[in-house]
Amino acid sequence: MKISHHFDDATLVAYSSGTLTKGMALLVESHIGMCEQCMEQIQTSNRIGGDLLQSIRPVAMESGCLDRFLAMLDGVEMDEVMPLEASRKSEVPESLAAVIGDDLDALEWKSMGLGVQQYDLKLGGVGATRLLRIQPGVSVPHHTHTGNELTLILRGSYSDEIGRFQVGDVADLDDQLEHQPIVDTDQECICLIATDAPLKFSGLMGKLVQPFIGL
C-alpha cells in the first residue's frame, strides 16, 4: 500500500497529548495502523512529551492515585495502547473494526440520496464520526468547514482540489479550504470522516439538503 497523504504535525501532536475528539482520535489510530511514517512520528512525539514531563517539578498526588491508575491498566495489552497492524489483511483497520466490525458491506447503511450512503458511528461527544459510501462518478456538494475535518480512505479513491486520495490516505482539513471530492474510478469509495463542527456547503443544492443529511 502506497500512502501519499498524511496528517499535519499539529494533528499528531494533538493525538499524543489527548486533545482530539473521540472520533478524530479513532481515525488517527486507524490510519497509524496502516502508515509506518505517521506511527513513527507519534512515537517520537510521545518520547518528547515524556522528556518534557521529566523536566516538570513534581507535585504531591492524592492518596490512592497510583492504585487507581494501575487498576485502570489491569488487563490492557500494549498493542491496545499503540495499534500495530501492518500485516492485517482486512480493509477495516483494527481500531475501527473494534467499533463497527470487520465487514463494511454488512453495516446498516442509510441512504442520503444522490448515490451517497452513510453510517453514523454515534460515538458521542464533540463533533460527528461517520462512514460515507459514495458511488462511482458521484461528488459530495462543494463545501468548506466551520472547524476541522479528518478523512481516511478505506476503499476506492476520490479526487478534489488538493489531489487524489486512495486507500490509506488521509485528508487533514480546516476552515481555510473549500473542496468538492468526486469518486474518480468505477469503484465505490468508502471513507471514515470525523469532524468537530458542521460542514458549510457553498452551493444552493448543498444548502438545501444539509438539514436532511446531517453533515
DSSP 114-138: TTEEEEE----SSSEEEEEEE-TT-
pLDDT of residue 126: 83
pLDDT-based confidence at residue 39 (cuts at 50, 70, 90): very high
Q: For residue 22, what is the enclosing H or E element?
A: helix 22-32
- Say whether 102-213 and 9-99 share the same fold: no
What's the predicted TM-score (pTM) here? Answer: 0.77
202 pLDDT exceeds 90?
no
For residue range 87-114, what is the model confidence (pLDDT) as tens digits?
457 899 999 999 999 999 999 999 988 8
Q: Which CATH superfamily includes the segment(s) 9-99?
A: Anti-sigma factor, zinc-finger domain (1.10.10.1320)
Domain ranges (residues) in the chain: 9-99, 102-213
State the Cα–Cα distance between residues 177 and 174, nearest whole angstrom: 6
183, β-bridge pairs: 158
pLDDT-based confidence at residue 207 (cuts at 50, 70, 90): very low
Q: Which CATH superfamily includes the segment(s) 102-213?
A: Jelly Rolls (2.60.120.10)
pLDDT-based confidence at residue 66 (cuts at 50, 70, 90): low
State the Cα–Cα distance between residues 68 and 56, nearest whole angstrom: 22
pLDDT of residue 1: 75
Looking at every residue in the chain, the average pLDDT score rounds to 81
State the Cα–Cα distance between residues 120 and 128, nearest whole angstrom: 8
Mean pLDDT of 165-175: 91
Mean pLDDT of 193-206: 69
Cβ neighbours, 10 Å, residue 138: 16
